[in-house]
Each structure stands twice: as C-alpha cells, then as structure tokens.
Amino acid sequence: MRLDLLPRDDVSRLREWLTPVVAFGVALIIGGVIVWLMGRSPVRAFQVYVTEPLSQGWAVQEILLKATPLMLIGIGLAFCYRADRWNIGAEGQFVIGGLCGGGVAVLTHGSGAWWVLPLMLMAGIAGGMLWAAIPASLRNRLGVSEILTSLMLVYMAQLLLDYMVRGPWRDPKAFNFPQSVMFDPAATLPPLLAGGRVHWGLVFALVAALAAWIVLNRTLLGFGIRALGEAPRSARFGGFNERRITLVVFLMSGGLAGLAGVAEVAGQIGQLQPSISPGYGFTAIIVAFLGRLSAPGIVLASLVMAMILIGAENAQIALKLPLDLARVFQGVLLFCLLGGEALTRHRVVLGRG
C-alpha cells in the first residue's frame, strides 16, 4: 500500500480558511477521547476549557491579557517563517526585551519622569532586536543554522535574567530574595479600563497586526519576504537581497518579542523576577502556525490558544485534569493543522504497490 500525494491545481480560498477550523474540530474530538480515557466527561471538559472562559467577564479579560504576548510574538514570527527563516529563539528575545525594559525601570526607580515608560519600551524593543540579530548575522555571514543558535540564546537569555535579578538588580529591601523593586506607577503600563487587568500591550499587539498585514501584503518588502520563503531562486533573480531580508525579518521578530517582554514585565508582573515567561515564545510558534502565518489569523489564533491555556488551569481546579493535557492538545492541534494543510495542497490517494 502506498500513499500518493497529487498536487491540487486550484485551492479555493474557502478551503484554505476552512482548514484550520476543521483541524481545530478534529483536535477537539481527539482531545475529548483522551479526556474520556482519563475518566472524565468530555462534555464537561469542553465546558471548562472553552465555554466557561468565554462566558465570564473576568475570564475574558484574562484571555485578552494572556493573548497579548502571544499575538505580538506570533506576528513577529510570521515575518520570519514566511521568509523561511526559522527563528526558534523568540522566548529568549522576549526575556531580553523584558530585561532591558525592566532594567530601565530599575535604574530610574523613584524618578517618576514622563519619559521612563517610553524609554522602557524602546529599550525592550532594542534588546529583542539585538538578541535576534545574533542568529541572523551568524546565518548571513557563516551559514550557521539559525534554529540552533536562536535556541541556545534562549537558555543564555534566561540565565542572564536570573543573574541580574539575583545580583545587581536585586531589591535591597526584599530580604535578599531574588526580585527587583516593584516598578513605579510611572514605569507601569496603564490598564485600558480603570480597574481592569488588560493593559496597553493589547493595543500594541493589534496595531502591530495591522501594520504587519500592510507590510506583508502591500509593500515591496513584504513581497520580498514572501518570495524568499516560497521561491528563493526567483527572489534572488528578482533582485531581492537575501541577507538584508534575513536581517530585517529577524529584527522585526526580535523587536516584537522584546516589546512583548517589556509589556509583560511593565504591565502584568510589575517587577523583574528570575522567570518572566511561562513559555510564551514557544507557544507563539504554535500560534503562528495556527494563524497560518497571516496577521488576522494570528490574532484569532492567539485568542484561541489563550482560551485553551486558561481553560486548562480551570480544568486543573474543577476536574483535576493535569496542565500537561493542554500541552498534548496543543501538539495534537498542530498536527491536525499540518495534516489539514497537506490535504488542502494535495489529494491523497491510497494506491497499490
């Protein structure tokens, strides 16, 4: 028995957009089976994972809050992945961004000046860009795989944050525990609605999404990025500078991840701690694929992913379902999506032989 893949000549837009939805549905069914095998009611699990987070006001806020970094990072990754540059180090760029932005807050603690917050944001973006420039340059100059270099830099970024928080930037008044001072109000991202939890990071994310869509679809740079990813030889013949584009997409991705980092630190956490990310940089990779590397898709996908993650926490409390189930579900979802895409691009024929 063999599996033959016959490329489809025409792929309708409807089919393209239906694929992730169907993939999600299939993943839900598989998830339901796993839940059932673990001795819980799949229907109840669906409620806890999906409908409840969406029906409670405070839960919707939490979804938006959690989706913000995923959106920012995911959009940045879309630039890279469209150009066939595999930035796996967004987590590290996120951490460095938070570190740089938070560092500004620590160093200007007590000043209360109006320029602190903007400076923090710029520092965060710059930090993320710098961290992403390293794998980009290594690839451009020496042909070193960006997958591995960007990944190794994640570990190094985490260790650097750990060192700074335990050492030079440790709050002297916190009984020598590893954390920085709590940021001044002047160094905090204000909430969008008074008393709410959602902060301006969400606005940044949505603006970034819009800007990304425009750049990718309406500018020459965007065309070059897509060309590099889909038809590299033609892109080179067409005059696009491969190295420049590589650097640009990494800088954009790093900058956005860095922005997400400083937004998280200045909006959500309010200080620097040895660990500031529950794996956003890696979850965002899934979000990018789920959103099929398009800006509106990523916005939607980050909301869906945030919903799943929050639902998983509720399920831990309500149903004693372990958090790892959410990870399994994420993997299943990505597989279903990959399968769906393959089936969209090709017709699968099981033949003899």
Partner 1 sequence: MAFWLLVTLTIITAATPLLLAALGEHVTERAGVLNLGVEGMMIVGAAAAFAVAILTGSSILAILAGLSAGMVLAALFALFAVGLAANQVAAGLALTIFGTGLANLIGAGFIGMKRETIPSLWIPGLTELPVLGKLLFGQDPFVYASLALAVGIAWWLRATRGGLVLTGIGENHASAHALGHDVRRLRVLAVLFGGACAGLGGAYLSLVYTPFWSPGMTAGRGWIALAIVVFAGGRVWRLLLGAYLFGAMNVLQLHAQAGGIGLPSQLLSAIPYLATILALVALALRDRRRQSAVGSLGQPFIPDR
Partner 2 sequence: MKALMTAAFGVAMAVGVGGAAMAQEKLKIGFIYVGPVGDFGWSYQHDQGRQAIEKAFPGRVETTFVETVPENDSDRAIEQLARTGHKLIFTTSFGYMEPTLRVARRFPDVKFEHATGVKRAPNVATYSAKFHEGRYIIGQMAGKMTKSNTIGYVGAFPIPEVIAGINAFYLGAKSVNPNIKIKIVWVNSWFDPPKEADAAKVLMDQGVDIVTQHTDSPAPVQAASARNVLSFGQASDMSRFAPNHVMTSIIDDWNPYYIERTRAVLEGKWESKDTFDGLAKGKVVMGPYRNVPDDVKKLAETTEAAIKAGTLDPFKCPVIDQTGKTIECKGGDRLSDEQVFGMMFYVQGIEDKVPQ
Q: Does 36 bind partner 2 (CB under 8 A)?
A: no
Which CA distances in Å does 216 have to 63, 75, 280, 321?
A: 27, 11, 23, 41
Neighbours of 196 (CB within 10 A): 13
Residue 323, interface with partner 2 (CB under 8 A)?
yes
CA distance 63 to 49: 12
**177 touches partner 1 (CB under 8 A):** no
Q: Which of 25, 275, 328, 348 binds partner 2 (CB under 8 A)?
A: 275
Q: Judge contact between 247 and 146, C-beta under 8 A.
A: no
205 lines the binding site for partner 2 (CB under 8 A): no
Site string (127-166) toward partner 2, x via CB under 8 A: -----------------------------------xx--x
Sole window of 45-53, 76-84, 135-143, 286-294 interacting with partner 2 (rule: CB under 8 A): 45-53
Residue range at the interface with partner 2 (CB under 8 A); choices 87-95, 132-140, 316-324, 340-348: 316-324
Residue pair 78/298 in contact (Cβ under 8 Å)? The answer is yes
Q: Between the CA of residue 183 and those of 107, 169, 266, 353, what are the distances in Å?
A: 10, 12, 7, 67
Task: Identify which of 56, 53, 46 has the alpha carbon closest to the alpha carbon of residue 24.
Answer: 46
CB-CB contact of 65 with 197 (8 Å)? yes
Residue 318 CB, shortest distance to partner 2, in Å, is 3
| Residue 348 near which of partner 1, partner 2, none (CB within 5-8 Å, type-dependent) | partner 1
- Nearest to partner 1 of 112, 279 (CB atom): 279
Question: Is position 45 an interface residue for partner 1 (rule: CB under 8 A)?
Answer: no
Q: What are the φ and ψ backbone dihedral angles of 98, each rounded to 5 degrees?
A: -65, -40
Q: How far is the CB of 335 from partner 1 (least distance, A)?
A: 5
Q: Which long-range contacts (CB under 8 A, 24 or more apart) does 6-13 make?
A: 6/346, 6/347, 6/348, 6/349, 7/345, 7/346, 7/347, 8/344, 8/345, 8/346, 8/347, 11/344, 11/345
Q: Is the dihedral of CA 86, 88, 91, 95 positive or negative?
A: negative
Residue 182's H or E segment, with its range, is: none
Return the residue of 142, 194, 220, 317 that touches partner 1, per CB under 8 A: 142
Query: Rule CB under 8 A: is residue 316 a binding residue for partner 2?
Result: yes
Q: How far is the CB of 24 from partner 1 (least distance, A)?
A: 14
How far apart, in whole angstroms, are the C-alpha atoms of residue 293 and residue 286?
Answer: 10
Binding-residue pattern over the window 280 to 319 for partner 1, x denoting contact by CB under 8 A:
--x--xx--x------------------------------
Between residue 60 and residue 89, which ones bind partner 2 under the rule CB under 8 A?
A: 62
Piece in contact with partner 2 (CB under 8 A), picked from 84-92, 118-126, 267-275, 288-296:
267-275
Helices (H), 178-241: 201-218, 220-230, 232-237
Which residue ranges make up the site for partner 2 (CB under 8 A)? 47-48, 52, 55-56, 58, 62, 162-163, 166-168, 170, 174-178, 182, 269-271, 273, 275-278, 310, 313-314, 316-320, 323
